[in-house]
A and B are shown apart, each in its own frame.
Chain A
């Protein structure tokens, strides 16, 4: 079974600075998807960025980018020019490439605090 580990329970960043959230995963599959989700307090979970394992190029979405190291099974999220609205719980998630039984497997999450 796949597992996802987020080793940082909590991180802090000064507004306008850069922060990196770590994520490692364990799988025996060669094809899969990886995601970062953001869950603001009392609000719904939204997709931040996604990465397909067969793509070597790291995904980027505006201020959010990932560092995907397939051999190391590492998938970190970098947030540049941090804003107060980035404060939330961030979850790393893995999804199998299989047609069925391809549930999202989540890590425990990292609370990101943004200081003004």
Chain B
């Protein structure tokens, strides 16, 4: 069964350092999402891509976070500089398109700890 690949699985970084996460969606999925899940809470959308274009980044802290999907396939989410409050699970998900009731397929996530 096709999966959304994410790496690394775990990341520990020091405050003020840069960190990056990678996501490879299911082949052919045009829509890619990055979510942040703070422990004990539901995920919240950071950024949504349709192919290589950003369609929603209203909740992305743009002073420190950036995201790209240059060729409309895999994607990278970067944080620079990391802050203690960024400790969370970062989930990537993809869907065939931006419509429909099929929900998303999620990756296993990257658990970030900022010390």
Chain A residues with a Cβ under 8 A of chain B = 4, 33, 35, 37, 43-47, 50, 52, 91, 93, 95, 99-104, 106-109
Contact = CB atoms under 8 A, between A and B. Distances in A.
A91 B99 CA distance: 21
A102 B98 contact: yes
Contacts of A45: 43, 91, 106
Interface of B: 33, 40-45, 48, 50, 55-56, 91, 98-99, 101-104, 106-109
Closest 9 CB pairs of A and B: A106-B42, A45-B106, A103-B45, A33-B101, A44-B108, A47-B103, A100-B55, A44-B106, A35-B103
Contacts of B103: 33, 35, 37, 47, 50, 93, 95, 104
A102 B33 CA distance: 11
Contacts of B56: 100-101, 103
A108 B42 CA distance: 4
A47 B108 CA distance: 13
B92 to A, nearest CB: 10
A101 B55 contact: yes
B43 A106 contact: yes
A103 B39 CA distance: 20
A45 B50 CA distance: 21
Q: Which of A37, A101, A103, A106 has the most CB of B within 10 A?
A: A103
A14 to B, nearest CB: 25
A107 B42 contact: yes
A63 B107 CA distance: 25
A13 B16 CA distance: 44
A99 B103 CA distance: 14
B113 to A, nearest CB: 14
Contacts of A103: 33, 45, 48, 56
28 contacts: A4-B42, A33-B103, A35-B103, A37-B106, A43-B108, A44-B107, A44-B108, A44-B109, A45-B106, A47-B103, A50-B101, A93-B42, A95-B101, A99-B98, A100-B50, A100-B55, A100-B98, A101-B55, A102-B99, A103-B48, A104-B43, A104-B45, A104-B103, A106-B42, A106-B44, A108-B40, A108-B42, A109-B40
